[in-house]
Amino acid sequence: MESDPLLETYLRQLHLPAFVKYYRSYAKDAAQKNMEYHRYLLALVENEVQSREQNRIQHRVKAAHFPTHKELADFDFSALPNLNKARILDLARGDYIAKHETLIFIGNPGLGKTHLSISLALAACRMGRRVRFWTAAGLVNELLLAQEENRLHRLISMAHKQDLIVLDELGFIPFTPNGAHALFTFCSELYERTAMILTTNLQFANWIQLFGDERLTAALLDRLTHHAHIVELTGESFRFRQRMQEKEA
């Protein structure tokens, strides 16, 4: 079937890009199968709907600013026998997001905390959720810069519009007093309003090392753990085990 310039013009005006792309191949297939007209139209409409949903997912994933792509299906649960796989799969359903709850992964470096946080957040994107990913250090730097430029309220308002905030690597770098206060303000603003995923290599008792203020640390922990799913990861580092396997090979 040859292209029809007028039809394609109308389809573009109606913002039906998948129709433009596939109507000829679908028409050829429909003719070969002697398909009824409404079946041909239904096939095109279904393709348009699926294409739009895929584009929306891609847009949400891009807007999340994930540092890398991680899938839950690729996570090696067998390497962490103490990790409850059923619990993680249940969390992937996203009920905690609707309830504005917090998910906290605690464990030493290399156990897959970031992998789990990204894969759960990616699942949220596929369910139509708006997600934003930050490292803890990156967020604090952004908060302090926004404060200097008198746009902190705008940044926090943007965070309020998200369904899920991911805060990764909390515990690697201690914060300045200003940075600690900025992060406390940010988390307090999201409390019971926006779901969060946090990853940390520090036990809660050691968070004072990060924030340097006992009262602020206690107040922050009180908020973060109030409606929290706390998952502790124990075992041998994935990266360390991979290096050992490479040496043996």
Q: pLDDT tens track of the chain, all 249 residues?
A: 677 889 889 999 999 999 899 889 998 888 888 888 888 889 899 998 999 999 999 999 999 999 999 999 999 999 999 999 999 999 999 999 999 999 999 999 999 999 999 999 999 999 999 999 999 999 999 999 999 999 999 999 999 999 999 999 999 889 999 999 999 999 999 999 999 999 999 999 999 999 999 999 999 999 999 999 999 999 877 655 565 455 555
Question: 107 forms bridges with which residues in the sheet?
Answer: 233
> Which residue has tokens 């013009």?
9
Question: Considering the domain 65-248, what is its CATH architecture?
Answer: 3-Layer(aba) Sandwich (3.40)
pTM metric for this prediction: 0.86
Question: Phi and psi at residue 199, in whole multiples of 5°?
Answer: -120, 140
- Residue 160 to residue 185: CA distance in whole angstroms: 13
All CATH 3.40.50.300 domain ranges of the chain, comma separated, are 65-248
Look at phi and psi of residue 235 and say left if phi exceeds 0, alpha if psi is from -120 to 50, else beta: left
